[in-house]
Structure 1
Amino acid sequence: MSDTATLLTRIAEALERIAPPPLPPADLGSHAAYRWNGTAIEVIHDFAAPDYELLTGIDAQKAACLDNTRRLSQGLPAHDVLLWGARGTGKSATVAACIGKVREDGGTIGLVDFASSDLHSLPVLLGQLRAAERPFILFLDDLGFDENFVGDARALRSILQGGATARGGLVRLYATSNRRHIVARNLSENDPVNPRDVADDKLALADRFGLSLGFHALDQDTYVEIVKAYADRFGLPFAPDQAVQWSTQRGSRSGRVAWQYIVELAGRVGKSLTQ
């Protein structure tokens, strides 16, 4: 073999090591959760759904989400869902808990985690999910748009509006947002033709979700109830005044802050939180 041929062979081998062949397609028939990386679907092997019964202070929201998820799992008409409200109040946990609960009851539904930065690849993903012929929740966490919202927001709205035509009857979108209308209210509306059209565009995306669930900041009593539920589950000593002091120091009362206090409490007494 000539020196040139040898050199080319070495270059080709080096390129293969740098860019290995793509992984085989994920099995979409059995796993509970997946992640879309913009080009392919990956299995989330360590998916662990929160205990549905342990979610406290959001009974109406979690019941509505669970009922909708069960319908989808059974192949019945179901809504796209927008879960909006204060940070740390259980929006994402509710979605994961409903997946876990439905699967625990024998459902075959799966979740696909999808970043809003990959909205341009959404049609490719939806095509793969349609072909799987299995109920899926396409989950967009912390969805929101800034001044550059127009293209991505309208693309997502088009998918939502298309319904079964675009997605099939077994794929629904669940999204969380800190804003009820997903886009910031202070976006400029300097449309030289009709400023109202810009405002309508901002609201129309949220309107496409058939089910809108609000998650609100907690009062002190509800916050203490959440801490107590966690403490009882893990057999931890519980002092309400200390839990309140923790939330005061954090400047917030939420399910997330309650769990962080439980982590602190378990660490103090040397007890594991695994079950």
Structure 2
Amino acid sequence: MRFNHSNKSSIAGLIELLSQVESKRKQGFREKPDARALAQRWHPETGFKVIHHPALIPVEELLHREKQLEQIERNTRLFLSGRPANHVLLWGARGTGKSSIIRAILTRHGGKELGMIELDRGGLAALGDLIQILGDQDRKYILFIDDLSFEANDASYKGLKALLDGSLMAPPDNVLVYASSNRRHLLPESMQDNLTAQVVEGELHEGDAIDEKVSLSERFGLWLAFHPFNQDQYLDIVRAQIETFEAATPEQTREIRDETNWQKEALMFARLRGSRSGRVAQQFVRYWLAEKLTDI
């Protein structure tokens, strides 16, 4: 095939265009974390991105999660003091405070000595690269993976599994993983998995499928369970949310609270949503105020 002058010009133009695209991509690519940032996101294709306005939560706003908070708080203090600490899996029902507790830990302990890096499932395959970068930093980091779960045919969890335990690369002392999930074992389970179980010398041995699914969650040294709130706990959270809004519109909110049966309405709202969770409590208060504030 012969190239004329027009072909050569087109190829040169294409190469120049690709070079410009690559240059622009690299301009926004941060290879190392910002040592001053409280929270950042990381993805292998974009590098580190500073979260300028992280969603921080004061520890005092966490209701009926004292036991879980105490355990993860102690684990974080051990980590910051250079003592052995565990990776943490927070599992349980949706809207029960799993992510909120992690954000509260950042609120209390984040700063010069500790930063948090949010990691989505898309970056798990390159997790080894991230760990090598962070291992060379003086600062300590918590990797936050929210809503972590995998489908049956998803092999990306193996990168996380190797990091937590089982890789030739020793995990650095300045990195911990705090992950939240609605699933205790992170992978879907089925009745079919139980059919391969065997009894050997009087002991029940689980099948390979179950062993594989349990092995990932077992690599988290600290499990924190989050169960749904009961009715009284849910109403406590609603009351606290009302008080938060009352600080902004005290006279109007106080009048509405005193003249309406907000407890009955809050329970009805929860039944319609099918959940008594902290998230539903917050949604109810916003809905309730919007309905009652007639001057808007």
1:72 aligned residue (79, 89, 114) = 79
Larger Cα-atom Rg: 2
Aligned pairs for 1:153-164 (under 5 A) are 153-162=157-166
2:138: which partner in 1? 133
2:68: which partner in 1? 61
Paired residues of 2:39 and 2:116 also in contact (CA < 8 A): yes
* Cα deviation 1:4-45 (Å, max 9, x = unaligned): 776555434433454424125254311111111233121111
* Cα deviation 1:99-144 (Å, max 9, x = unaligned): 11113xx663111111123221000011111112211111111111
The code of the aligned residue for 1:260 comes to Q
Cα shift at 1:78:
1.3
Deviates more, 1:106-115 or 1:157-166: 157-166
Partner Cα distance (1:52, 1:168) in 2: 28
2:14: which partner in 1? 11
Cα shift at 1:187:
6.9
Partner Cα distance (1:100, 1:221) in 2: 27
Relative to structure 1, is the Cα distance of residues 269 and 66 closer, same or farther in structure 2, using a 3 angstrom cutoff?
A: farther
Secondary structure of 1:179's aligned partner: coil
1:265 and 2:271 equivalent?
no
Partner Cα distance (1:143, 1:187) in 2: 22
2:278: which partner in 1? 255
1:108 and 2:108 equivalent?
no
1:180 and 2:203 equivalent?
no
1:198 and 2:209 equivalent?
yes
Secondary structure of 1:132's aligned partner: coil
The code of the aligned residue for 1:14 comes to L
Highest relative contact order (Cα 8 Å, sep 6+), 1 or 2?
Answer: 1
1:36: which partner in 2? 42
Question: Runs ≥4 in structure 1, deviation > 6 angstroms?
Answer: 2-5
Partner Cα distance (1:260, 1:246) in 2: 9
Paired residues of 1:69 and 1:99 also in contact (CA < 8 A): no
Unaligned 5+ runs, structure 1: none
1:227 and 2:233 equivalent?
no
Identity between Structure 1 and Structure 2 (%): 33
1:142 aligned residue (125, 143, 147) = 147
Cα shift at 1:164:
11
Aligned pairs for 1:47-58 (under 5 A) are 47-58=54-65
Deviates more, 1:72-81 or 1:219-228: 72-81
Partner Cα distance (1:269, 1:37) in 2: 44
Unaligned 5+ runs, structure 2: 199-204, 247-252
1:241 aligned residue (243, 258, 264) = 264
User: In the comparison of the two structures, how many residue pairs are matched?
Assistant: 267
Partner Cα distance (2:220, 2:236) in 1: 31
1:121 and 2:144 equivalent?
no
Partner Cα distance (1:233, 1:98) in 2: 20
Partner Cα distance (1:121, 1:140) in 2: 14
Partner Cα distance (1:265, 1:46) in 2: 27
Paired residues of 1:88 and 1:257 also in contact (CA < 8 A): yes
Partner Cα distance (1:28, 1:186) in 2: 43
Partner Cα distance (1:48, 1:220) in 2: 27
Partner Cα distance (1:232, 1:29) in 2: 37
Secondary structure of 1:156's aligned partner: helix
Cα shift at 1:188:
4.3
The code of the aligned residue for 2:281 comes to A
Paired residues of 1:54 and 1:230 also in contact (CA < 8 A): no
Partner Cα distance (1:216, 1:154) in 2: 28
Paired residues of 2:228 and 2:276 also in contact (CA < 8 A): yes
Taking structure 2 as the reference length, the TM-score comes to 0.80
